[in-house]
Amino acid sequence: MTKRSTLPTTLVLALAAALTSACSLAPGIHLKDAEVTDRAHEQGDAQFEIQQVSPWLIQKLAKDYAAGVAARQADPNAAALKEYQYKVAPHDVLSVIVWDHPELTSPAGQYRSPEENGQIVYADGTMFYPFVGYVNVAGKTVIEIQLELTKRLRHAIKDPQVSVRVANFKGRRVEMAGEVKSPQTLYLDNIPLRISDALVKTGGFSQASNPAEVTLIRGGKATVLNLMSYYEEGDLKQNWLLLDGDAVHVGSMSLSQVFVFGEVKTVGTKPMFRGRLSLAQALADSAGFDYATMRPAVYVLRQEPQGKPEIFKLDVENADSLILAAQFPLKPRDIVFVATNDLARMNRVIGQILPLVNTIWQTWSMIYTTKSQIGF
């Protein structure tokens, strides 16, 4: 009897020891506040601490957002809207009318369109006109060109009456690309074109667009604008006047995502609709908590570009704390992690240990049975 009970007793003691350290042996991702803080301090960040999600923190985040809105770069050409005048560029077509002189106004025939009868602006910025010759018109307004032609026609025509307009705008253009319904090249004309105007001309945002991330490329420099702020909050700083050579790219919602891990029913990537997603929405989109295994703590891990990592913690032991989750705004690339409770982690350890214990027990039983049958 003594020999028969030796191995089971040993197994029971070994199992008890393993269960005692179950938290450290449990499979999966572990996150303990003290350990995270200690690691940050060891790596040189003496000020690091996990931030508790509270009404105070929500107010602070709201103030930080308002400060960010106030600090946004204003359109450097906003003042030009009031005095905007189109300036002729190469490849434009000009219509020149000399009153009482149809042979100059419509040399190809009066039934031709103004564009067909018009004067093309060559690549070097000049235009040819009868009795005048080549005139440098690029970079000038139609009024300036009109005055120049009137002055230079006086040697051939007495008191010339000249009118100039652009028959076809082809010289100045902007590119609209990304998540708009009809990406295309738009030509600037005598009406100032802002980003919102260009969006209307391209059919507006596509379903997969992220209006909070519209990139304006000008002179090799990229500026990210938030058109959601313009449409919802009237932030005129975001609605820039477009200039010749500008390129506008509307970002995709697929590039603005958060990642949900841990004790939720559906782990995965959650898109930020129109660039916005609250912590409560991310959890709801994950089909809610797995209440059998979760610990009432939700963490948000954030890495700001060129900034220090941040970790926010929301205690969800009480249902009213979810009000804070609904007010907590997530940012692209945030990681939401729902912690695991100690009992679930211990059960997982048991689930790993029991097959080994059963194997050893069965092996021992077979050996003992064999020994008994042969008389040992």
pLDDT higher than threshold 90 for residue 205: yes
At 167, is the secondary structure helix, strand, or coil?
A: strand
Q: Which helix (H) or strand (E) holds 270?
A: strand 268-271
Q: Indicate whether this model's pTM tops 0.85.
A: no
How would residue 277 be classed by pLDDT, with cut points 50, 70 and 90?
A: very high
pLDDT higher than threshold 70 for residue 113: no
What pLDDT score was predicted for residue 143?
94
The percentage of the chain sitting over the pLDDT mark of 90, rounded to a whole number, equals: 46
Length of the chain: 376
Two tokens, residue 103? 């042979």
How far is it, in rounded angstroms, from Cα 138 to Cα 121? 8
What pLDDT score was predicted for residue 271?
87
pLDDT higher than threshold 60 for residue 269: yes
How far is it, in rounded angstroms, from Cα 342 to Cα 294? 9
